């Protein structure tokens, strides 16, 4: 192996397939901003391009046509990244192209299903959501929906009384061994957000500050990009989720007018330095410095872990 090859392999590679913007931190730009600060290289393919987030006056916007998108996906898969994060997909045919490519991919797949929210409903065509559920969800190892998106993917109506395990085990039955349901509870009175997490062995509530005064454009992209970047850097799924939750919270809190008021992971990473704390033993105490706490989800009668042994620690 040449010295050049050795230098390249010193930086693990993260792939990202999602929307791109010229101004702000959404989609691929959020992933690249986070990954590079964590000594992770990136290779990206855009599903669409816009000057800035939706709603910013005067922006341009376009969807990448199917032929060029397929070429971009094939190019990315051929680079053989360690982890691949899949975010916003604009059209059903894009889902089909990604699903076909995953048959040739041997790394870890993080699916961030950008489908919509309670406030705005579905952002994508119903057929796109259906194909993400049917074609991509079974091929992912990690999934990071918000609660609205989790209900869509699990074919649930608004189950306000359902506990976290209904959602977490529901995803395990459909493919992903690790489920991260963000905004499971949004408590404006207590100023808390609750994320539900499970890898089949542990079930955790990850509580973080709720900065309701900020619009939060791109917060989900930052969380998913943070999870994927930290997994690539060697963190376990739980540690990656706890630290990415802290990152997303700080990124929201540091929102400015930049990028049409998108969140700012670069400013957040000036304060949060996760690399020395990627291990399970260190990440919890470090995240608590930023108001993020992880506690076990109590088990009711008859409820237990899906897995009866701890998964091996990442090296």
The predicted-structure confidence for 248-279, as pLDDT tens digits, reads as follows: 999 999 999 999 999 999 999 999 999 999 99
Q: Over 50: is that where the pLDDT of 164 sits?
A: yes
Q: Report the chain's terminal Cα–Cα distance, integer Å.
A: 22
pLDDT, tens only, 101-117: 999 999 999 999 999 98
Distance in angstroms (rounded) separating the CA atoms of residues 68 and 18? 14
> What is the pLDDT, as a whole number, of residue 158?
59
Taking the C-alpha atoms of residue 277 and residue 136, their distance in angstroms, rounded to an integer, is: 31
Q: How far is CA 286 from CA 201, 260, 281, in A?
A: 22, 31, 10
What is the pairing mode between strands 41-50 and 13-21? Answer: parallel
* pTM of the complete model: 0.92
Of 2-11, 177-186, 242-251, 294-303, the least confident:
2-11
With cut-offs at 50, 70 and 90, classify the pLDDT of residue 315.
very low
pLDDT category, 159, cuts 50, 70, 90? Answer: low
pLDDT at 39 over 80: yes
> Domains of the chain (ranges plus CATH)?
3-296 (3.40.1190.20)
Q: Which of 84, 85, 87, 75 is nearest to 107 (CA)?
A: 84
Helix locations, the chain, DSSP H: 3-9, 27-37, 66-78, 92-102, 126-131, 147-153, 164-174, 219-233, 237-253, 265-269, 280-288
Rg of the Cα atoms in the chain? 18
Q: What is the pLDDT of residue 14?
A: 98
Which whole-number Å values give the CA distances from 212 to 186, 209, 215, 217, 251, in the listed order? 10, 9, 7, 12, 13
Q: Contact at 8 Å (CB) between 16 and 228? A: yes
* Contact in structure between 108 and 233 (CB atoms under 8 Å): no
Q: Distance between alpha carbon 39 and the CA centroid of its chain, in Å? A: 18
Mean pLDDT of the chain: 91
């Amino acid at each position: 192996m040449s010295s050049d090859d050795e230098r390249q392999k010193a930086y693990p590679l993260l792939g990202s397939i999602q929307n791109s913007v010229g101004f702000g931190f959404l989609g691929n730009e959020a992933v690249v901003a986070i990954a590079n600060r964590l000594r992770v290289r990136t290779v990206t393919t855009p599903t669409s391009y816009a000057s800035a987030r939706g709603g910013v006056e005067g922006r341009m916007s376009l969807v990448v046509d199917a032929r060029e998108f397929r070429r971009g996906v094939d190019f990315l898969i051929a680079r053989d990244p360690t982890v691949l994060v899949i975010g916003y997909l604009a059209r059903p045919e894009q889902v089909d192209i990604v699903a076909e490519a995953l048959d040739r991919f041997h790394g870890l797949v993080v699916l961030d299903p950008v489908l919509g929210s309670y406030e705005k409903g579905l952002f994508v065509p119903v057929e796109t959501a259906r194909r993400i559920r049917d074609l991509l969800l079974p091929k992912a190892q990690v999934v990071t929906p918000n609660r609205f998106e989790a209900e869509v993917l699990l074919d649930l109506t608004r189950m306000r009384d359902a506990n976290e395990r209904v959602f977490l085990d529901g995803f395990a039955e459909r493919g992903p061994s690790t489920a991260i349901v963000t905004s499971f509870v949004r408590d404006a009175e207590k100023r808390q957000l609750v994320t539900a997490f499970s890898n089949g062995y542990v079930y955790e509530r990850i509580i973080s500050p709720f900065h309701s005064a900020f619009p939060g454009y791109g917060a989900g992209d930052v969380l998913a990009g943070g999870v994927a970047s930290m997994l690539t850097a060697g963190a376990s799924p739980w540690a990656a989720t706890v630290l990415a939750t802290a990152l997303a919270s700080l990124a929201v809190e540091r929102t400015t007018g930049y990028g049409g008021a998108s969140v700012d992971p670069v400013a957040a990473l000036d304060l949060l330095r996760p690399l020395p704390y990627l291990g399970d033993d260190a990440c919890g105490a470090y995240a608590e410095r930023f108001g993020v706490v992880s506690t076990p989800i109590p088990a009711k009668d008859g409820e237990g872990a899906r897995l009866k042994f701890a998964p091996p620690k990442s090296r």
